[in-house]
Amino acid sequence: MKSMRILIVEDDELLAAGLARALATPGYAVDRVSTGEKALLALGIEHYDLLVLDIGLPGIDGFSVLRRARERGQTLPVLILTARDAVSDRVRGLDLGADDYMTKPFALGEFEARVRALLRRGHHAQSAQLSCGVLLMDTLAHRAWLADSPLNLTAREWSVLEYLLMRQGQVLSKDKIMQAVCSWDEEISPNAVEVYMSRLRAKLEPAGVYVRTVRGFGYLLEEAGNAQP
């Protein structure tokens, strides 16, 4: 598992940018496409935890994207966006397997709340708590602690640490880490990963949780007892 990844399919550039910004703030990795064709392509190559899907798209419309995704057996939660406040659209969307819908225009706060609810629903079977030594991370409450002290992390630090925690015992390359925590339209360099690692180390090492560098391969999260000198 990696940090939550969301695909936004919306041809209104301004709206798509606003939604992406709103979701990037809590640390989700967000990808954006503007057509149904690109949405189906993205869904075929990447794992997403949620699909935010506009119905009125140029070319293949949102209904068709939803139908094809379900036909392929993709069970991810889907939030449809529709400009039309027609009952028949909502019914059709829900019949095709959408999990929720919003009629434009809507408040960003409500959008964020619905996204959180859908992500929770999608992951309810999965443990929300990750730990390593005295480090505890609650991915649903979006809070972390070192022993009993709250641990403050930036959104990007959170994503990187969550990724390391979910793959304890594995050496993770910079490339893998970058792919897991970044959207397509973001450029972060391998050097940036080093910066996040050094910030995480400064926060974690005093409590005995170590991010070990495996030279030439990547990083490994360990608690004090396992760390090699």
The token pair that represents 47 in the structure block: 């794992």
Taking contact as CB under 5 A, which single stretch among the options 11-19, 58-66, 149-157, 187-195 is the one that binds Ca ion? 11-19
Query: Which one of residues 2, 11, 100, 145 is an interface residue with Ca ion (CB under 5 A)?
Result: 11
Taking CB positions, which residue lies at the least distance from Ca ion? 56
Of the pair 17, 117, the CB lying nearest Ca ion is at 17
Q: How many CB atoms lie within 10 A of CB 61?
A: 16
State the Cα torsion 78-81-84-88 to the nearest 10°: 10
- Tell me the closest approach of the beta carbon of residue 113 to Ca ion, in angstroms: 22
Identity at 86, one-letter amino acid code = A
Taking contact as CB under 5 A, which single stretch among the options 16-24, 52-60, 135-143, 209-217 is the one that binds Ca ion? 52-60
- Tell me the closest approach of the beta carbon of residue 35 to Ca ion, in angstroms: 10
DSSP code string of 178-227:
HHHH--TT----HHHHHHHHHHHHHHHGGGTEEEEEETTTEEEEEEGGG-
Of the pair 2, 104, the CB lying nearest Ca ion is at 104
54 counts as binding Ca ion under rule CB under 5 A: yes
56 counts as binding Ca ion under rule CB under 5 A: yes
**Footprint on this chain of Ca ion (rule: CB under 5 A):** 11, 54, 56
